Amino acid sequence: MGFFSFLKNGVKGGRGQAAEGAKAKADRGILIFENTSEVIRAENCLKAAGWPVRVMGPPPEIQRGCDLVIEFPLIERLEIMRLLDEARAVPLEMVPVTGPLLAPVDLFQTVDYGEWLMVRAANMKICIEKATETIVNISGGGCPDVPYLAREMVGKSLAEAPRPREIGHTLCGYALELAHEEIRRQCSAS
Amino acid sequence: MLCIVGTVPDAGFPLVAGPVRRENDRLAIGDRTVAIHRGTPALVGAVLAAATVLPLPPVEAWLVGDIGRGDGSRRLYAHLEAELPRRPWTVVVFHYLQPDVDWHNRVLFAVEKIHPRPVLIADAGFMYAAKMSGQAREYDLFTPDAGELAFLADEDAPHPFYTRGFILHQEERVPELIQRAYCHANAARWLLVKGQTDHLADGGGIHETVAAPASPAMEAMGGTGDTLTGLAAALAASGMPVERAAITAARVNRLAGHLADPTPATQIAAMVRRIPAALKQVLDESGA
């Protein structure tokens, strides 16, 4: 049985936590893309259209390393495929899933350094100067887009800097996007 | 010979492999130069700064441009598979590469052809792939921070992004997480866990800790973990046993940070400049 034949028969999901418990549900599918950048592009497209999708970890059977998949309501597959076709964000595969998927880390840690503020999401940290909201440092992570994101973002204000979701390509880039969103939220709330 | 393997954040940077030298705050390899910013360039910068104090064997950097798409990493993985066994490396450091289990396994297979086997150090993306492959025990040293330690401790997580919530990366839980990482065979022979307190551990437990000098701003600085890994590699290449190299590196890295008097806005090059003084002081105090 080939790799994608195996996928078409459905995957049972992961060893890890279920976002909503371990109860199997036959009403979900996952969209599998070539790389994380395409996942992020498709997620942007689907969320903009109002679809209730979530990025999750792939089942262990198909993990390669730095992976994300999009979980979606299976009954909407035709509408979703039509939208992704129009947006030229076509997945490699769309398969049903019945088991739990790994959920991204959703805890944030904030460190207040007085003149500076740092937020951590998973393994990524972003630090700004409070007075100007200038990004002064990006640290953590291990994927190759982390130094690239730092080069493109450090020295710019939160408003001016490109978003990690726009120029990042990996899970570390996605984690930095979460930290970026959180630090923006904290700045707008203060 | 010391080999440093990693990426630089420039999509147009070709695959280069060869001796590397420092020119002011830049690295020079072949006819290319790279700024000493966070990532593998900071690791190389730390090694070259240490080389002004330590008698080191020849140092080579094997670098490629990759901005996260993985294309450069895959070219470098293929180069490693073909070329790494051809040279008598004593220490090999694997750093920022796109995590890919299949390629990791092919590279590790190639390393097994090198006799005697070099000291293997892994950090960043390559450490993620090493853990996910189930072959972490083949390595001599991993240098995770507390968040990455939680990932090593979570036997199910394929990336730190998926570390389960009940395995929180809190500093006070470092001993428990170390034990869990070894319990599931997801740690190298030695772990140097960097944080407010640095911990040196193996499967028998924590051997040493270093907590001073303390510069809390270093946590916000990009590259402080890269310099630590570079220092451990340089000291191991100078002939120190890997565990002594790791704990000495922790002391030097902290002192270099302290000497740079950092704020959260300080850039890593400022700390790299302090490494020679810090290394000399630590070696003098230890009588080495």
pLDDT digits (tens, 9 = 90+) for B237-254: 999 999 999 999 999 999
Whether residue B191 contacts residue B232, with contact meaning beta carbons closer than 8 Å, is answered with: no
What pLDDT score was predicted for residue B50? 98
Residue B150: pLDDT above 50? yes
Model confidence over A63-87: pLDDT tens digits?
666 678 899 888 888 889 999 999 9
Q: How many domains does chain B have?
A: 1
DSSP annotation of A21: B
What pLDDT score was predicted for residue A44? 87
Residue A123: pLDDT above 90? no
From CA B264, how far away is CA A116, in angstroms rounded? Answer: 7
Q: Which of B125, B164, B168 minimises the CB distance to A142?
A: B125
What pLDDT score was predicted for residue A7? 39
Q: Sign of the C-alpha dihedral, residues B122, B126, B132, B138?
A: negative
Instruction: Please indicate if any CB of chain A lies within 8 Å of the CB of B243.
Output: no
CA B117 to chain centre: 18
The bridge status of strand B119-122 relative to strand B141-142 is: parallel
What pLDDT score was predicted for residue A17? 39
Return the residue of A nearest to B162 by Cα: A104
The bridge status of strand B91-94 relative to strand B119-122 is: parallel
What pLDDT score was predicted for residue A64? 67
Interface A–B counts its CB contacts (< 8 A) at: 189
> Are A111 and B99 an interchain contact pair (Cβ–Cβ within 8 Å)?
no
From CA B231, how far away is CA B252, in angstroms rounded? Answer: 8
Nearest of A45, A13, A40, A62 to residue A165 by alpha carbon: A40
Mean pLDDT of B125-145: 96
> Are B264 and A127 an interchain contact pair (Cβ–Cβ within 8 Å)?
yes
Residues 83-112 on B with a CB inside 8 Å of A are 96-102
CATH 3.30.70 region(s) of chain A?
A: 3-97
Mean pLDDT of B213-241: 97
> Are B147 and A140 an interchain contact pair (Cβ–Cβ within 8 Å)?
yes
Enter the ipTM.
0.93
> Are A35 and B147 an interchain contact pair (Cβ–Cβ within 8 Å)?
no
A154 or A88, which is more confident? A154
Q: Which of A17, A123, A168 minimises the CB distance to B147?
A: A123
What pLDDT score was predicted for residue B171? 76
Assign A134 to helix, strand or coil.
Answer: strand
> Which H or E run includes B233?
helix B224-237
Distance from CA of A103 to the nearest CA of B (A): 6
Mean pLDDT of A143-152: 95
> Are A150 and B216 an interchain contact pair (Cβ–Cβ within 8 Å)?
no
pTM, two decimals, is 0.88
- Residue B119: which pLDDT band, with cuts at 50, 70 and 90? very high
> Are A65 and B163 an interchain contact pair (Cβ–Cβ within 8 Å)?
no
Model confidence over B9-63: pLDDT tens digits?
999 999 999 999 998 889 999 899 999 999 999 999 999 999 999 999 999 999 9
Residue A13: pLDDT above 70? no
What pLDDT score was predicted for residue A68? 82
> Are B219 and A63 an interchain contact pair (Cβ–Cβ within 8 Å)?
no
Residue A45: pLDDT above 80? yes
Return the CATH number at B102.
3.40.1190.20
Residue A36 burial (10 A CB sphere; 0-12, 13-18, 19+): buried
Model confidence over B96-113: pLDDT tens digits?
999 999 999 999 999 999
Return the residue of A nearest to B217 by Cα: A113
Nearest of B163, B225, B35 to residue A151 by alpha carbon: B35
Q: Which of A115, A137, A146 minimises the CB distance to B39?
A: A146
Chain A positions in Cβ-Cβ contact with residue B77 (cut-off 8 Å): none
What pLDDT score was predicted for residue A21? 41
Distance from CA of A136 to the nearest CA of B (A): 5
Residue B129 is encoded by which pair of tokens? 């792939």
Model confidence over B154-199: pLDDT tens digits?
998 888 888 876 666 677 889 999 999 999 999 999 999 999 999 9
Q: Which residues contact B230 (CB under 8 A, 6 or more apart)?
A: B4, B42, B43, B44, B45, B46, B47, B50, B93
Distance from CA of B38 to the nearest CA of A (A): 6
Model confidence over B77-103: pLDDT tens digits?
999 999 999 999 999 999 999 999 999
What pLDDT score was predicted for residue B257? 98
First to last CA, chain A: 56
Which site among B43, B126, B133, B161 would you substitute to test the A interface, given the most A Cβ atoms closer than 10 Å to its Cβ?
A: B161
Instruction: Please indicate if any CB of chain A lies within 8 Å of the CB of B12.
Output: no
Distance from CA of A94 to the nearest CA of B (A): 21
Q: Which of A123, A141, A148 minimises the CB distance to B67?
A: A148
From CA A155, how far away is CA A141, in angstroms rounded? Answer: 19
Chain B positions in Cβ-Cβ contact with residue A136 (cut-off 8 Å): 220, 264-265
Model confidence over B137-149: pLDDT tens digits?
999 999 999 889 9
Nearest of A163, A170, A175 to residue A123 by alpha carbon: A175
Chain B positions in Cβ-Cβ contact with residue A151 (cut-off 8 Å): 9, 37
What pLDDT score was predicted for residue A15? 35
What pLDDT score was predicted for residue A58? 79
From CA A124, how far away is CA A130, in angstroms rounded? Answer: 19
Instruction: Please indicate if any CB of chain A lies within 8 Å of the CB of B72.
Output: yes
- How confident is the prediction for chain A on average, in pLDDT? 82
**Which segments of chain A are extended strands (E)?**
28-32, 54-56, 69-73, 93-97, 108-112, 116-121, 124-129, 134-140
Assign A68 to helix, strand or coil.
Answer: coil
What pLDDT score was predicted for residue A19? 40
What pLDDT score was predicted for residue A26? 55
Residues 110-129 on B with a CB inside 8 Å of A are 123-129
Mean pLDDT of B260-274: 97
What pLDDT score was predicted for residue B268? 97
Mean pLDDT of A133-160: 96
Chain A positions in Cβ-Cβ contact with residue B129 (cut-off 8 Å): 65
Backbone region of residue A168 per phi and psi (left: phi > 0; alpha: psi in -120 to 50; beta: other values): beta
Assign A57 to helix, strand or coil.
Answer: strand
Instruction: Please indicate if any CB of chain A lies within 8 Å of the CB of B253.
Output: no
Residue A113 is encoded by which pair of tokens? 């350094």
Which range of residues forms the domain containing residue B63?
A: 2-286
What pLDDT score was predicted for residue A5? 37
Highest mean pLDDT among A33-37, A56-60, A173-177: A173-177
What pLDDT score was predicted for residue B169? 64
Residue A14: pLDDT above 60? no
Is the CATH code 3.30.1370 the one for domain A3-97?
no
Chain B positions in Cβ-Cβ contact with residue A131 (cut-off 8 Å): none
> Are A142 and B151 an interchain contact pair (Cβ–Cβ within 8 Å)?
no
Question: B179: which strand partners?
Answer: none
